Structure 1
Amino acid sequence: MLFERVKELAEQRGENLKTVAQKLGFSENAFYKWKKQSPKSETLELTADYFDVSTDYLLGRTDKKRYYDLTEEDEKDIQNELQRMIDSMNNKSGFAAADGSTMDELSEEDKELLLASLEQSLRIAKRVAKQKFTPKKYRD
């Protein structure tokens, strides 16, 4: 599992295992040795840091690459918050653009762009909050 994950991550970056090993200061065949033996924890951590994934992901303990990746529960929270925002904007006094137009006066395209922007903003905010406020003991 470990070797396959590292190989997949290298391929996603357009690199081969030999190149990645050299960049990390490992022997050229270091990753191939991982097929039969476990790496040292320092080596595993360097590899995880290089690919910006958790060591648990490399080891196959989770499919979540980073501790701050959004979960299904996070996605539900985002959709609920987005719905609350939509409901609020649909009230007569809930939304006014800089030019004074209301939600009803926006074109369908503008409404769609606004909602997409709000949804993306909520995702970014949730991810940043997880990075900032997740205690270290829960990060891997």
Structure 2
Amino acid sequence: MKTISERIKEGLEIRELKQADLVNLTGISKGALSSYISGSYEPKQKNIYKIAKALDVNEAWLMGHDIPMERNIQKETKSSYNPNELTKKDEKSIQKDLKQIMDDFKSGQDGPAFYNGVELGYEELELIEQAMELALKSAKLKNKAKYTPKKYKKEE
């Protein structure tokens, strides 16, 4: 029977995600996730659920049981499409865009970032990143609502 550590690594590889992506998708700290992946600690049930959901795998499979990897939850279809919710694909796209924006911002290629004549520090850049993530999610939801064909919109 494979360990949770091995299954997390396998899930990351299959889903083409990095550890940082899993941190963003689950809200689990980088240190805790690192200890799960190294095998130092096993996650508690709530974190097993978060990791399984983020990797789109069955929780029992993640815990090492010999069952199919895929979740039993019905996959998203056109009929269940909801323009008022972000999909995993949307979340991944937002995280990719956010990373690119923040990498450009933090690189200092255009010079250091200042506000009111004071150079922005790490904490301020983290706050900007959080605000940028909210802005990107909001923009994505507005665009989905605006550009989703009527045939996919749910009747209310």
TM-score range, shorter chain: 0.3 to 0.5
TM-score between the two structures when normalised by the length of structure 2: 0.42
Which is greater in Rg?
1
TM-score between the two structures when normalised by the length of structure 1: 0.46
